[in-house]
Structure 1
Amino acid sequence: MLPRPSNSDPAPSADWIEASCLVSRDAALSRSDIVGILSVIGESAPEEQAETTWIQLQGRRSVLGAEYPFEIEQESVALRDTNPARNAYLAMLLISIRAYIAEARTNPITDYTRLFEYLTAEAARRYVSGQSVRIGWPREAPVPAGFGDLIEYLSDLLREGPTGPVLNEPDKDAGADVVAWRPFADGRAGQLIVLAQCATGGNWKEKATELQCLEWQRYIQFAVEPIRVLAIPHIEPDAGRWVKYSSRGGVILDRVRITELLGGDPYGQLADEVNDWLEGEIVRLRLVESEAGLS
């Protein structure tokens, strides 16, 4: 198994079980395996912790149904055959555990943040049943690199404006990594627009207020104020905290919601990128597992 997360809350613990199952060459773990590992590393009440974790896993399966990538039985968890939506879940899982398992943090940051931003862009496009574009840093053609040019580009793309002068150019992207919108056939301003911030680290709660539509209104005079979205590869099971951070950061697209949105129709070349990245991460994490000596 992979090293135990530094955060022993139910969600990171469930992530640990899922990731360990994914990385395991047997693609399965028994509850007794998990209890045994918890005992070896000195956790108190391992049976109780295993039960709490199992409840988390069953909750995820209940929401996602066929798109959940694991089969949860009373005494075991096993990896299902993959499909594009399940692979997206697994990729976000391996991005998420970087926040809690120090040994998992070795690749350059742009490797997975870019991938998550594109997953968010596709999920947001489906959420609004419209169009989307990734504008996160570093930007990629045809999206302009300079912020002033980006504003003009978005104004033309969305048919919103006029644009205001960028007097004090913000760092990189002014908090927005993805823009999604649902245009009308008349091509006029005044439409559903989403500005999404992607936060992959464990400090995502601190970033909930970084994206402000008022700031963006200075750059593009939207006819209707955009909706804020906070996209995270993590899962927050606590209902109170969920409402708290939704009120601060906007609509939360977490791993479960993004997977739900990506279910059904495949998502083209991005699905191939996800699969390639996932395969590489599994190979790398098997070395981490071997060095941890918890198998």
Structure 2
Amino acid sequence: MASLIDDLSDPPGDSDLHYWADWAELLCITASAGMLSDSDLAEEIERQRSTGSGNQASQNDKFQRHAREVFNYLAGRALRYDDTYPFELSANGRILTKRSLTDPRIVYLFLLVCSSFKYVPRSAMVSLAGRFEWLCLAAAKLSLPSEAEVHLFGKNPLGVPSRYVGSLVNKLNQLADDLCEVAVFKPAKFKAGNTGDWGLDIVAWLPSGDRAVGRMILFGQCACTAEWVTKQQTVGDNRWNKIISITVPPVAVCYIPFDFRDPSGDWYNEHQIFRSYIVDRWRLMYALGFFPPAGRPTISAADLAAILPVQDLKDLVDVGSS
């Protein structure tokens, strides 16, 4: 795979602090010293955002205040993620330093990169998105009862085996049969040769021991960009009832690599959540078994090695040490 991160010189275009915190973490792991201070961050913001006109002292104060806001936000992350956090924040909260890698920290870095497509070379995006989808599949399997059927619905770019193959019409008919429901769509409305997924990435259901209608169903969408807010609706029952007469509305799940939290651990903005269960960076790592309570199923090292670009992530961290 190509280098995972390209030029970091352009700060986030969004004002949301969780994007700025991600950018600061990327600056930290790619820094020559493997660390980033709030002053370093303020200087980086100044280099990119200073207009060169007006009251320079006032601008500098503004950049320094913003850098402190980002570091205050990072303090909340460091506290929440604890030992799984691949960074260490100094006692005074002003210096971020990268830590040695463990499996949970590698997963965190992977999700950080997947949250940062603005800085990812285009040549690496498809593979990363496919790996993220694969990781979400693993998380879904660990979260649901062992007897649950959990499958990819879309065509994964990494060739991950799927129960659903061929044209979209064939996939939809297979899905309707799996769910013991009736397909109500008109095949002629889909273009010939359409092998898409109708916005559905992951499907899961609990076997009921019969063929009667009405199963517990999960429809999942995996999204690595800020457009996840609108993509939530692609797996909602309002959309899918036009395709399959689903008796029991499915649980709509949106998997995102972002740490969509405020410093306290609550949602960053719950008004962006629309009738769906959000599995963000924190919930993904919880589902993979990295957080208490002890004794929960945990993803194996072998599965992580197969799913993640482990060496590329290690190389990314080593950039700051070379």
Q: Is the 8 A contact 1:132 1:179 kept in 2?
A: yes
CA distance in structure 1 between the aligned counterparts of 2:301 and 2:249, rounded to whole angstroms: 31
| Larger helix share, 1 or 2 | 1
Match in the other structure for 1:292: none
Q: Aligned runs of 1:35-184 on 2, under 5 Å?
A: 35-41=42-48, 42=50, 44=60, 45-73=62-90, 74-99=93-118, 101=119, 104-129=120-145, 130-138=148-156, 140=159, 141-142=161-162, 143-155=164-176, 158-167=178-187, 168-169=189-190, 172-184=196-208
CA distance in structure 1 between the aligned counterparts of 2:267 and 2:102, rounded to whole angstroms: 33
CA distance in structure 2 between the aligned counterparts of 1:197 and 1:216, rounded to whole angstroms: 13
SS in 1 for 2:226: coil
Match in the other structure for 2:56: none
Q: Is the 8 A contact 2:204 2:219 kept in 1?
A: yes
Match in the other structure for 1:255: 281
Match in the other structure for 1:211: 235
How big is the alpha-carbon RMSD for the aligned residues of Structure 1 and Structure 2? 3.3
TM-score by length of 1: 0.79
**Match for 2:270 among 221, 225, 243?**
243
Q: Would the alpha carbon gap of residues 164 and 40 (structure 1) be closer, same or farther in structure 2, given more than 3 Å must change? A: closer
Amino acid at match of 1:259: M
Residue 32 (1) aligns with residue 39 (2): yes
1:175-225 CA deviation, whole Å, 9 max, x = no partner? Answer: 111113343566865443211112212333233323332333344443421
CA distance in structure 1 between the aligned counterparts of 2:34 and 2:307, rounded to whole angstroms: 19
CA distance in structure 1 between the aligned counterparts of 2:84 and 2:212, rounded to whole angstroms: 37
CA distance in structure 1 between the aligned counterparts of 2:301 and 2:317, rounded to whole angstroms: 26
**Match for 1:271 among 289, 292, 304?**
304
Amino acid at match of 2:311: E
SS in 2 for 1:17: helix
Residue 95 of structure 1: CA displacement? 1.8
1:159-179 CA deviation, whole Å, 9 max, x = no partner? Answer: 532444552238611111111
Worse-matched range after superposition: 223-232 or 236-245: 236-245
Unaligned runs of 5+ residues in structure 2 are 1-6, 51-58, 291-297
SS in 1 for 2:283: helix
Q: Is the 8 A contact 2:233 2:239 kept in 1?
A: no
SS in 2 for 1:65: helix
The size of the alignment, in residue pairs, is: 283
Q: Would the alpha carbon gap of residues 217 and 281 (structure 1) be closer, same or farther in structure 2, given more than 3 Å must change? A: same
Amino acid at match of 1:78: T
Q: Is the 8 A contact 1:29 1:78 kept in 2?
A: yes
SS in 2 for 1:229: strand
Q: Would the alpha carbon gap of residues 95 and 134 (structure 1) be closer, same or farther in structure 2, given more than 3 Å must change? A: same
Residue 70 of structure 1: CA displacement? 1.9
Unaligned runs of 5+ residues in structure 1 are 290-295
Q: Percent identity?
A: 22
CA distance in structure 1 between the aligned counterparts of 2:317 and 2:64, rounded to whole angstroms: 26
Amino acid at match of 2:100: D
CA distance in structure 2 between the aligned counterparts of 1:191 and 1:80, rounded to whole angstroms: 45
Q: Is the 8 A contact 1:67 1:263 kept in 2?
A: no
Q: Would the alpha carbon gap of residues 162 and 204 (structure 1) be closer, same or farther in structure 2, given more than 3 Å must change? A: closer
Q: Would the alpha carbon gap of residues 57 and 136 (structure 1) be closer, same or farther in structure 2, given more than 3 Å must change? A: farther
Larger radius of gyration: 2
